[in-house]
Amino acid sequence: MKWFVLLGLVALSECIVKIPLMRVKTMRKTLSEKNMLNNLLKEHAYRLYQISSPGSNAITHPLRNIKDMLYVGNITIGTPPQEFQVVFDTGSSELWVSSLFCSSPACSKHVRFRHLESSTFRPTKKTFKITYGSGSMKGFLAYDTVRIGDLVSTDQPFGLSLAEHGFEDAPFDGILGLSYPDISLTGGIPIFDNLKNQGAVSEPVFAFYLGKTKGSVVMFGGVDHRYYKGELNWVPLTQAGDWRVHMDRISMKRKVIACSGGCEALLDTGTSLIIGPRRLVKNIQKLIGATPQASEHYVSCFAVNILPSIIFTINGINYPVPAQAYILKDSRGHCYTAFKENTVRSTETWILGDVFLRLYFSVYDQGNDRIGLAKAS
């Protein structure tokens, strides 16, 4: 079975939160109008550069590439520590794992937290439900000690699942969210914020190097420049709250094929593919010459050598994605495209998942509310 992951949050029930949406001028547009954007980026460029050399404060943690569909890493929870394999996800804020209270078939296939064996475990009565693009879970909030390698977060809020749906074949035991507290559905402090507050990381930054084979890592508290080429290009977030930036356009053969008037892009390590509005994705599939079959769009594998790159322009910088990256191969050896339609209707927003992030080293600077991108080494 081919597995792809879309962990962008879709809905919340149990505690219903209504957030009024209104169109506001983005930070980028405001700064550009005042000719302040370039000055702002230059003024703050030194901070990460100073700690981006070998021997820096960056603490690296290994990740494993599962068939180019997702990246997982090990964490431990409890005292003594119990080990879990989780997805490190920039598209959500919650940390949760399977529990002994869960009777869903998905839970029986995963490592489950044994709460009675942890001396530091502290439960609560708060329940919550999270719906992702690829599944959903219902659970309750608890507290315990969580370790990511040598990093230790004490009294860390995390979820224990009571039910899981859609994760039956998922090669992970839970999800570790790395987005802002603003989108937390439990009200708990996300683990990176807890590490920052407890002084475990020296800088409020983390970064991802997602390789094709071995060597993938997530790093906390700094940046190691050995993982990228050239300089980091800094992009301010459209608003502090999630890892979303303004994108100028998407083009192919010097023609704009999507995002013609500018749009938003969410950089999401928890999503395998590139997700966009239905009408625009259908147009891209047509331009590529892809044929729909079941839930995928297939092309001849020979097309990989002749199809042009698709270019994502962000903050004036072109980020080409060649056909070798956006054409994937299934278990039968057939080739399909990495573009998927977003079924949720909204303003034009694209989710740039692992297909994009394998090509570009990404830095998430919570201190300055910006993302850094550079060509991966």
Helix (H, G, I), strand (E, B) or coil at 65: strand
Report which of 133, 139, 127 is spatially closest to residue 166, judged by C-alpha positions.
133
Q: Which residue's entry shows tokens 């790395």?
A: 178
Report which of 284, 258, 269, 273 is spatially closest to residue 338, judged by C-alpha positions.
273
The two tokens of residue 220 are 């906390």
Report which of 95, 262, 276 is spatially closest to residue 193, judged by C-alpha positions.
95
Q: Which sequence positions are flagged as catalytic?
A: 89, 268
Contact call for residues 143 and 77 (beta carbons, < 8 A)? no
Residue type, 286: K
Q: How far is CA 46 from the centre of its chain?
A: 25
As a whole number of angstroms, the distance between CA 41 and CA 51 comes to 17
As a whole number of angstroms, the distance between CA 40 and CA 365 comes to 14
C-alpha dist (Å) from residue 330 to 232, 294, 298, 353: 33, 13, 10, 18
- Dihedral class, residue 187 (left if φ above 0, else alpha if ψ from -120 to 50, else beta): left
